[in-house]
Structure 1
Amino acid sequence: MTHVSKDFDGGYYMIQEDIMRCGIFKHSGSNPNAISDDALRTLNALGATPKRINQRVFAVLNEAWMAGDQIAGLPSAHDPVVPGRKEDEEWEDMSKDEQSEHKASREEAHMEIVRLGSSRKQFLDKLSVAREMADHPEFYEPFFLDFRGRFYPMCETFHSQGDDVCKGLIEFARGKPLGSRGLYWLAVRAANCFGEDKLPLDERYQWTLDHLDQIIECAMDPLDGSRWWTQADEPWGFLATCFELDEATALGDRSVEYVSHLAIPLDGSCNGLQHLSAMSKDPVGAKATNLMARAQREDIYLEVAASARRILASDITNGVEWSAQWLAVLEDTAKGRKVVKRAVMTTPYGVTERGIATQLYKDGHVKLLAGYKEMTKPEKWAAASYLKDVIVKALSETIAAAKQVMAWIQTCAEKMADQNVPLVWKTPNNNLITQSYFNLARSKVKTLYGEQVLWSEDPLSGLNPKKQALASAPNLIHSFDAAHLSRTVNALADAGNSDFLMIHDSFGVHACDTDQLALTLRKEFVDIYSTNWLDTLHETWAEACPSIPHWKEFLGQGDFDVAEVLRSDFFFS
């Protein structure tokens, strides 16, 4: 949606859209009073933030693509060669292992062609929208809520919650002078984008100063120079930061006057676990997820990987299959962290044990094992399944209280579903969330193109207890992180801020306003968890279903003082 001479233009302005999108299950959408005034304020603030295309990043991106340059994650314009089929005679002369290897190589090539085709299509769609938006001085993104109260842009292809390409191309249309602290935060953003986000904040700032010559070289000659920027974890976001740092530092003492258009994102540290740890006042989880004020940043992924190594070492002494191969992989600290990261991240959002095994297999971690090429497919799955068991055990040692909170929520949801009672709760920003996975009704429709099957929720057939249980904890935590975002935006808007770039657990404002953001998001989090939410949720659910267990049957509340978040540099950084 664009804005020209005070008149709006664009499809999302012309066509009426639902504020809350729910899909086949209505959930909160069945309640006309589900969305609070607080959530609507946030929705309007996010949608009213004007954005524009970063012209310098767009020029580099477009030139690199047109030149066929596969840099910084750009997809290849060419498909890989598929190994040819063997003649019957040659095929019969091959051993079974050779035949299997040949079939596997053909399968992998075809899968890569499919993957590349999808990546290429997505990239070209983004490039096309960016090219069109580049002609406009500003554009707006309308937002909607899902049934948990989370905020999403309506634009599906190209938006500010997208990948590194999208984030590198989108900036605030309204600029703001850096002021006395803006250059500091711009430097922190550079370090974060490059992958140095584990350092203390002052060390990230120093990292940027130490690499300033390289940063300026990248800004002056991004494609014909060293291309050092392409080594960053988020290369397009880093390049955008290089351009601004080059221009700001060129002003010397007058850098405070430099008008910046970039958002400085502050990211939560495994945010789902942060909420669960605060809810249970768990000191172990609070330390692991940086709720505690400490001099060094904790890394829960490294902690889980270390726990997994101890379990693997014990299994080796007992002769457990696959333990030695996996320990050889996890002994490389960087690889070990990467292997366990997705399982840790998705645990508070309801990943199943089978899901963890699937992640390990499909993410390619099994390929790290010695002898991978000689392994059969069942052996590869067996190896993934074994490590899944190890990671689950390591998680139980590391985030025990969080898993106990999740178990209690799931038990309550299942018991309520058995009595056909939906799970309903009020969030810290006053949304009234309903989770109601009713059983589905199947109907058939005959068309000119054949018989089609339609599915629709059927409240008369009752709730699905298993689905209610599995989804309950992740949906509740998603609603709480959305409430934290909403309260932060509204508090900042009350203080006069009007530009926001928010992504669930990554909050961004102008560089000059980042200190205010950092303080506000901490204050709102502490205020949220000054309430005993375990008691509040139990009271709400027991009123609807008296037979649910009390949370104290699952865990004892810890003694962590949530106010310590106010002094934690790494809570969001």
Structure 2
Amino acid sequence: MYTLEQQIEVEKLYKTLAEDKEFNFLTKAKQNDEYADTKIGKGIIKIVLDNYMSNIEKNVLETVINKKKGIQPSYSKILKNYIVYYKNNLNDFYMTLAVQTLKVVINSVVAQQFLLSNISKKISDELHDEVELHAFMTTVENADKRYSKEMNKRVGRHFKKQFIFHAYQGNDFKFAEYSLKDMVSLGMHLIELLVETTDYFYIDNSQSVEKKIAELRPTEIFLQALQNSEDNSLARVVKYVPTIIQPKSWNGMFEGGYYSYNSVFMRYHPYIHNTKTLKRYLARLNELDLAPIYSAVNRIQNTAYHINSYMLNVVGTILESGGNRAGIPQMKPYEKLPAFPYGDKEIEESEELQVLFKEHKKKMITMIHKENQRQGKALRCTMVYKLAKDFSRFETIYFPMNIDFRGRIYPIPTGLNPQGDDMTKGLLEYAFPKAVSSEDSLQWLMIHGAGLAGHDKICLDERIQWVQDNKDNIVNSVDNPIGYTWWQEQDKPFQFLAWSREYVNALAYMSAHNGSLIGFECHCVIAYDGTCSGLQHYSALLRDPVGGSAVNLVDHDKPSDIYQEVANKVLISVENNSHNGTIEDTDRKGNKMPGTKAIAEAWLAHGITRKVCKRPVMTLAYGSGQYGFGDQIFEDTTKDNPFFNGVGDFRAARYMASKVWDAVQTTVVSATQGMSFLKNLANELASDNMPVEWITPLGLPVQQMYLDLHTECFRLRFGGASVRYRIYVTEPKEGEDTDKKKQVSGVAPNFIHSLDATHLMMSVNACENVSNFTTVHDSFGTSLGEAEELREVIRQQMVKLYSENEPLKDFKAHAEELLGKHIDIDLPQKGTLDINSILSSKFVFH
């Protein structure tokens, strides 16, 4: 057992590591001319920008727009030519001058590059590039549409410039060039205006008598402000990691989780961090009796884990051998494509080479994105492994938890936690599992293992048989996990391997105890997952017998598969179109295009599987509609898919979206009715500028913090990785009015999430003899010795939730109370589903 003092030492250690990381990040930003893009750099820009822009505007009006007769400074002709391209939005022009100057100045002075002439030249060069690109995008027909998206796929200023240079050439675009003297003069002038505006910088001419070199120097005020900002940044940074003793219990909004630094019970978007709306809401929550909420979170975070040393060695070996196994990406970079073997001149003179070069560039971009994805996954795997290795020296680790505004429970530590990916979950096991007290536990152990292998759509007896049939494969995988790779082919390979080891241990235990499993301690998680959880809750809410059957609220011999059920209905409709569909259609402009017959045939050739339908059906309960279905199918299936070359990948996605939508309407009627009711009710509140709010059956007031936000930003194409460079931190507008559109669109998913969170908390609190909980929203896990009780409780609490509460009726009553008037919206009618059927359903959670 570890002490509080030891826990505080762990927190201090990782606090120091986080500070070192932040310090190195800032140091690297200084070295790489990226400091102005950090939070501190943007904060400095925000402080100076308004006054600096006003000064620039005043000067431009005097010297360029309303200029008087006489000799004009050399830079004025440059500004005169530049401003032509911003005549419709002069504010963007002043913003461009100000931001580009500030970025260069900040990056230069923090890197201790003070030479005034060099800074001036860099300012003028970057301004010229920016204005040239803006001129191209706004004067060449469709240039913005044709090139912006592709340019922003390029990473880094060099590759963006290389891409746009070819675009200039292809459109015969030429931009005015200016002498070095005039360009430096412009940069100097902008610096002089900056020095006039702020006391952050000054021009040092003390060395100019002898060396004739002037410098731009930061003032003590700037240096002190910079130091304070960096100190604050380092003070705030924290690395949230597991604790080695039970986390501090929550009994209020602002105290719990960790012992030596602050954490909050409810997570919320940083945009609303300092709003009066949030402060009033949190103060109200802090005064309420939320004992059931705190109790559930505390029980979950008090679950003791430790690192599975067997799995840690397996993961470490795979990483050391280069990865590329069991979902771990390869550790070394992908091989780069060879350079295109022809030069620019040869490409320009040959149409065939131009086509080949375009294909080569497309392959190169694809490879760059693929490599970026590999890097991100490899980095995450490595970080999780290193943290797990570090914490493997402790006998117990715990994960502090908190909730979001809907009540969903999340671990505060990122990376290594029980809600992580397959590899991460495989590295964790219970430190104190409850000993098995029933011989039936062996069956549930096997059923769980078959599910991890991906065989969760068959009946329970078949799952048990699958494990028995693959006993040799399981044993061989445990004995030689690197050489015998069968386990790597399973659906969740690392969790399956961890389970396999426990299964082999269980068999050995039974062999030593006359065939009995009683007393065996199984360290892996035994989990029960909901079937399309959102639709389960809608079907229970409205007693939908059709939807309830489709999502296993009633018992079946084998799991009902709603995704396959929808796919079957879609298939019938598509087959009908393949015989009776239109040959040819026309678009809005009268252009001819293939009809529904051709699209149907393309889909039949591709195959209409449960995978095609799964994501749209899954997201229906969370507010996704037919249009959203189309976007999902396009991204997941039809985009750049050769099966749809003849009919158009986007059109094929829209066609399938309409078929899935129609099929869903007859499969889960309650979901569409429930969502319509929730949106209508939310609209009543939002129209009165009221935040949409309801109270869960456990007494948690859920308030949607969607406020009307104010963000000033403008297009700075070369100025950063994103299309738009945000100057101000996004913040609610004065008055903190609600964002009516988001209040309405967010209510359906948030309401259902609050109900699945309520069900989870009720289940945790109702377990009398369970001390281990591993939960992920609609997934309930515990140790094998506690699994039977949890299995019964989650069914009982689902019935209790909907037999003792009327969430939709209560929401309407609460809305009427907030508005002080009757709302003329009828509650959806309930169907004939017997809610108690959940108690006997084998697959409602399985």
Return the match for 2:762 from 468, 481, 487. Answer: 487
Cα offset for 1:74? 0.7
Matches within 5 A, 1:118-267: 118-179=376-437, 180-225=439-484, 227-251=485-509, 252=511, 253-267=515-529
Between 461-470 and 270-279, the greater mean CA deviation after superposition: 461-470
Distance of 2:355 and 2:726 partners within structure 1 = 44
Q: Closer, same or farther in 2 for the Cα pair 1:568/1:451, shift >3 Å?
A: closer
Q: TM-score, normalised by structure 2?
A: 0.63
Three-state SS of the structure 2 residue aligned to 1:529 is helix
Three-state SS of the structure 2 residue aligned to 1:244 is helix
Distance of 1:270 and 1:490 partners within structure 2 = 23
- Tell me the alpha carbon deviations over residues 280-324 of structure 1, each in whole angstroms, 9 at most, x when there is no partner: 111111001100122221000001111221232233321315222
Return the match for 1:18 from 259, 264, 270. Answer: 264
Aligned twin of 1:363: 636
Q: What amino acid sits opposite 2:320 in the alignment?
A: M
Aligned twin of 1:113: 371
Three-state SS of the structure 2 residue aligned to 1:94 is helix
- Tell me the alpha carbon deviations over residues 225-260 of structure 1, each in whole angstroms, 9 at most, x when there is no partner: 2x1101110000000011111111023214333221
Matches within 5 A, 1:391-470: 391-442=660-711, 452-458=727-733, 460-470=735-745
Aligned twin of 1:54: 308
Three-state SS of the structure 1 residue aligned to 2:441 is helix
Distance of 1:353 and 1:28 partners within structure 2 = 34
Do 2:433 and 2:522's aligned partners in 1 also have CA atoms closer than 8 Å?
yes
Matching of residue 474 in structure 1 with residue 749 in structure 2? yes
Three-state SS of the structure 2 residue aligned to 1:70 is strand
Could you tell me which runs of 5 or more consecutive residues in structure 2 were left unpaired when the two chains were aligned: 12-257, 583-595, 714-719
Do 2:297 and 2:401's aligned partners in 1 also have CA atoms closer than 8 Å?
yes
Cα offset for 1:503? 0.7
Distance of 1:6 and 1:175 partners within structure 2 = 24
Q: What amino acid sits opposite 2:702 in the alignment?
A: I
Do 1:28 and 1:433's aligned partners in 2 also have CA atoms closer than 8 Å?
no
Distance of 1:181 and 1:28 partners within structure 2 = 50
Matches within 5 A, 1:20-35: 20-23=266-269, 24-25=271-272, 30-34=281-285
Between 556-565 and 203-212, the greater mean CA deviation after superposition: 203-212
Matching of residue 318 in structure 1 with residue 569 in structure 2? no
Task: Determine what percentage of the aligned residue pairs are the same residue.
Answer: 29
Do 1:441 and 1:455's aligned partners in 2 also have CA atoms closer than 8 Å?
yes
Three-state SS of the structure 2 residue aligned to 1:4 is coil
Three-state SS of the structure 1 residue aligned to 2:415 is coil
Do 1:307 and 1:394's aligned partners in 2 also have CA atoms closer than 8 Å?
yes
Distance of 1:171 and 1:497 partners within structure 2 = 16
Do 2:433 and 2:785's aligned partners in 1 also have CA atoms closer than 8 Å?
no
- Tell me the alpha carbon deviations over residues 339-381 of structure 1, each in whole angstroms, 9 at most, x when there is no partner: 1111111221223544333322333454555265x88xxx333
Q: How many residues align?
A: 554
Three-state SS of the structure 2 residue aligned to 1:49 is coil
Return the match for 1:346 from 613, 619, 643. Answer: 619
Return the match for 2:841 from 554, 568, 573. Answer: 568
Matches within 5 A, 1:508-519: 508-519=781-792
Q: What amino acid sits opposite 1:85 in the alignment?
A: F
Do 2:506 and 2:517's aligned partners in 1 also have CA atoms closer than 8 Å?
yes
Between 477-486 and 398-407, the greater mean CA deviation after superposition: 398-407
Distance of 1:349 and 1:20 partners within structure 2 = 21
Q: What amino acid sits opposite 1:188 in the alignment?
A: I
Three-state SS of the structure 1 residue aligned to 2:306 is strand
Distance of 1:315 and 1:364 partners within structure 2 = 20
Matches within 5 A, 1:529-568: 529-530=802-803, 531-545=805-819, 546=821, 548-552=823-827, 555-568=828-841
Matching of residue 523 in structure 1 with residue 796 in structure 2? yes
- Tell me the alpha carbon deviations over residues 116-168 of structure 1, each in whole angstroms, 9 at most, x when there is no partner: 11111111111111111111111110001101111000011111001101111
Cα offset for 1:265? 0.5
Cα offset for 1:41? 0.3
Between 173-182 and 361-370, the greater mean CA deviation after superposition: 361-370
Q: Closer, same or farther in 2 for the Cα pair 1:483/1:380, shift >3 Å?
A: same
Three-state SS of the structure 2 residue aligned to 1:233 is coil
Do 2:459 and 2:559's aligned partners in 1 also have CA atoms closer than 8 Å?
yes
Q: Closer, same or farther in 2 for the Cα pair 1:116/1:263, shift >3 Å?
A: same
Distance of 1:536 and 1:408 partners within structure 2 = 13
Three-state SS of the structure 2 residue aligned to 1:296 is coil
Distance of 2:405 and 2:747 partners within structure 1 = 13
Distance of 2:301 and 2:433 partners within structure 1 = 17
Cα offset for 1:269? 0.3
Matching of residue 268 in structure 1 with residue 545 in structure 2? no
Return the match for 1:4 from 2, 5, 8. Answer: 2
Three-state SS of the structure 1 residue aligned to 2:312 is helix
Q: CA RMSD in A?
A: 2.3
Q: Closer, same or farther in 2 for the Cα pair 1:570/1:551, shift >3 Å?
A: farther
Aligned twin of 1:81: 335
Between 255-264 and 525-534, the greater mean CA deviation after superposition: 255-264
Do 1:172 and 1:262's aligned partners in 2 also have CA atoms closer than 8 Å?
yes
Do 1:149 and 1:482's aligned partners in 2 also have CA atoms closer than 8 Å?
yes
Q: What amino acid sits opposite 2:599 in the alignment?
A: W
Aligned twin of 2:545: 283
Cα offset for 1:28? 7.0
Aligned twin of 1:307: 569
Three-state SS of the structure 2 residue aligned to 1:363 is helix
Cα offset for 1:99? 4.8
Distance of 2:667 and 2:461 partners within structure 1 = 29
- Tell me the alpha carbon deviations over residues 427-463 of structure 1, each in whole angstroms, 9 at most, x when there is no partner: 122211111312013479xxxx998311222472522
Q: What amino acid sits opposite 2:757 in the alignment?
A: A
Cα offset for 1:217? 1.1
Do 1:285 and 1:398's aligned partners in 2 also have CA atoms closer than 8 Å?
yes
Cα offset for 1:195? 0.4
Between 434-443 and 189-198, the greater mean CA deviation after superposition: 434-443
Return the match for 1:386 from 652, 655, 662. Answer: 655
Cα offset for 1:111? 1.2
Between 310-319 and 421-430, the greater mean CA deviation after superposition: 310-319
Q: TM-score, normalised by structure 1?
A: 0.91
Distance of 1:548 and 1:115 partners within structure 2 = 50
Distance of 1:202 and 1:6 partners within structure 2 = 48
Cα offset for 1:408? 1.1
Q: Closer, same or farther in 2 for the Cα pair 1:155/1:521, shift >3 Å?
A: same
Distance of 1:364 and 1:308 partners within structure 2 = 16
Q: What amino acid sits opposite 2:409 in the alignment?
A: F
Q: What amino acid sits opposite 2:446 in the alignment?
A: A
Distance of 2:824 and 2:460 partners within structure 1 = 44
Cα offset for 1:470? 0.7
Distance of 2:341 and 2:419 partners within structure 1 = 46
Distance of 1:451 and 1:462 partners within structure 2 = 22
Aligned twin of 2:108: none
Cα offset for 1:98? 4.4
Distance of 2:283 and 2:639 partners within structure 1 = 48
Q: What amino acid sits opposite 2:309 in the alignment?
A: Q
- Tell me the alpha carbon deviations over residues 375-410 of structure 1, each in whole angstroms, 9 at most, x when there is no partner: 8xxx33332233222222222222222111011101
Between 426-435 and 263-272, the greater mean CA deviation after superposition: 426-435
Three-state SS of the structure 1 residue aligned to 2:754 is helix
